[in-house]
Amino acid sequence: MAGDEVDEAASEALCPTLWSRRTGEESSFDRGPDHARLSGGRPYPEVDRG
């Protein structure tokens, strides 16, 4: 991304790679790296599973 422009071709090329890495155990929302520490170890709330 340069400024406020998205590199559409690069984004489109990256999507299949990112989707192939998903296990199905990921939450619907990225709560960030500190969520597990702040929530007592849970990487995401159960309501985020979708």
pLDDT single digits (tens) 16-42: 998 898 887 777 777 777 888 888 887
Q: How far apart are CA 29 and CA 19, in angstroms?
A: 15
Cross-strand partners of 2: 5
Note the pTM of the prediction, 2 decimals: 0.44
Contacts of 20 by beta carbon, 8 Å cutoff, 6+ apart: none
pLDDT band, residue 8 (cuts 50/70/90): very high
Place of tokens 């155990």: 25
Inter-residue contact 22 to 35 (CB < 8 Å)? no
